[in-house]
């Protein structure tokens, strides 16, 4: 895909501000593969969308927040009809000055991470901060600064809570992402964590608010999506390698998750790469 680079000063609607605020509702999200010279916080309030970031695909649902850095390349490849999201773009110097004051550790995490920063289950922000139905499309600079401060406070707390995950569970979470373990499923995760299946379920609920089965299925679907758009492997082989019970089962749950069949996605991928 062709990569386009946006510059903050050329796209801002209001002069002499460090922020661009957008409420996106009832329209298509950008399929233009791009990067930019500023930070962007995307907060999903409603619906689902698939975001392609740094050659990986991520399924984004309500109450998920994504922090995109100037180095991140991204676009949207799919979305539901009811998507509502907030986007706050911040000048690089402004963002880095504020986050450095809040937490140097979190600032270093942002700079050094191989992946964009994700914060899940941000529903508290809906009640404490965001009356998005009545928000103006042109927030004043001090309003945007307050919004950024609240978001950063939440992100830092989220980051600190993740660091408390037991090493054995963290190890299992990292290793299960490898195809050879992912294809095996829950049995591999039990072995890698050295927990019983019951204890693993309790720990996944406590730290990730999900079940091992759901977590593994999500990983399998995300990896299948990546394989379909980034490799030439047939969708049947992809389903088999990732441990799906049958191709028909894979086809069914893939369409439920991404609103497109694996075969249709492969055809779309061929169009994107032309």
Query: Do 123 and 98 belong to one domain?
Result: yes
The gap from C-alpha 214 to its chain's centroid, in whole angstroms, comes to 17
Q: Which residues of the chain have pLDDT under 70?
A: 1, 12-15, 121-138, 160-164, 269-274
pLDDT at 274: 45
pLDDT at 127: 44
pLDDT in tens, 89-124: 999 999 998 888 888 888 888 888 877 888 876 655
Q: Do 74 and 52 contact (CB within 8 A), yes or no?
A: yes
Query: Do 26 and 146 belong to one domain?
Result: yes
- Please give the Cα distance from 219 to 185 (Å, whole number): 10
Query: Do 172 and 118 belong to one domain?
Result: no
Pick from 37, 39, 28, 71: nearest CA to 53: 71
Read off the CATH number of the domain in which 260 is found.
1.10.10.60
* Gyration radius (Cα) of the chain, Å: 20
Query: Do 32 and 137 belong to one domain?
Result: yes
The domain boundary, picked from 128, 146, 162, lies at 162
Q: Total domain count for the chain?
A: 2
pLDDT in tens, 55-100: 888 888 888 889 999 989 999 988 888 888 989 999 999 999 888 8
- Please give the Cα distance from 149 to 63 (Å, whole number): 18
Residue that the structure tokens 């593994």 belong to: 216
CA distances for 29 relative to 113, 190, 249, 253, 257, angstroms:
26, 39, 29, 24, 18
The domain boundary, picked from 146, 162, 178, lies at 162
The domain boundary, picked from 126, 146, 162, lies at 162
Query: Do 41 and 157 belong to one domain?
Result: yes
Burial label, 187 (beta-carbon count in 10 A; 0-12, 13-18, 19+): exposed
Q: Do 235 and 266 contact (CB within 8 A), yes or no?
A: yes
Structure token digits, residue 257: 């998750």
Query: Do 178 and 256 belong to one domain?
Result: yes
Q: Which domain holds residue 112?
A: 4-162
Q: How many residues would you count in the chain?
A: 274
- Please give the Cα distance from 170 to 204 (Å, whole number): 10
Query: Do 110 and 244 belong to one domain?
Result: no
Q: What are phi and psi of 128, to 5 degrees?
A: -90, -15
Residue that the structure tokens 């999201």 belong to: 85
- Please give the Cα distance from 1 to 236 (Å, whole number): 25
Query: Do 36 and 93 belong to one domain?
Result: yes
pLDDT at 247: 92
């Amino acid at each position: 895909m062709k990569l386009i680079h946006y510059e903050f000063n050329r796209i801002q609607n209001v002069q002499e501000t460090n922020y661009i605020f957008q409420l996106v509702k009832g329209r298509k999200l950008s399929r233009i593969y791009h990067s930019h010279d500023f930070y962007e916080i995307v907060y999903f309030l409603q619906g689902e969308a698939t975001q392609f970031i740094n050659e990986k695909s991520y399924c984004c649902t309500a109450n998920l927040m994504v922090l995109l850095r100037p180095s991140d390349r991204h676009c949207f490849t799919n979305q539901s009809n009811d998507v509502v999201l907030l986007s706050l773009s911040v000048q690089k110097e402004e963002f880095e000055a504020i986050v450095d004051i809040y937490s140097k550790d979190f600032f270093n995490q942002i700079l050094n991470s191989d992946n964009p920063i994700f914060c899940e289950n941000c529903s508290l922000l809906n009640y404490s901060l965001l009356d998005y139905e009545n928000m103006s499309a042109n927030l004043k600079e001090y309003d945007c600064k307050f919004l950024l401060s609240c978001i950063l406070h939440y992100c830092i707390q989220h980051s600190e809570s993740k660091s408390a995950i037991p090493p054995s569970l963290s190890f299992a979470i990292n290793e299960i992402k490898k195809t050879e373990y992912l294809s095996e499923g829950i049995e591999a995760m039990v072995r890698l964590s050295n927990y019983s299946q019951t204890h693993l379920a309790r720990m996944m609920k406590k730290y990730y608010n999900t079940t091992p089965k759901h977590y593994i299925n999500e990983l399998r679907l995300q990896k299948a999506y990546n394989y379909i758009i980034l490799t030439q492997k047939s969708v049947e082989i992809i389903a088999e390698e990732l441990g799906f019970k049958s191709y028909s089962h894979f086809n069914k749950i893939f369409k439920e998750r991404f609103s497109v069949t694996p075969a249709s996605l492969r055809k779309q991928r061929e169009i994107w790469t032309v």
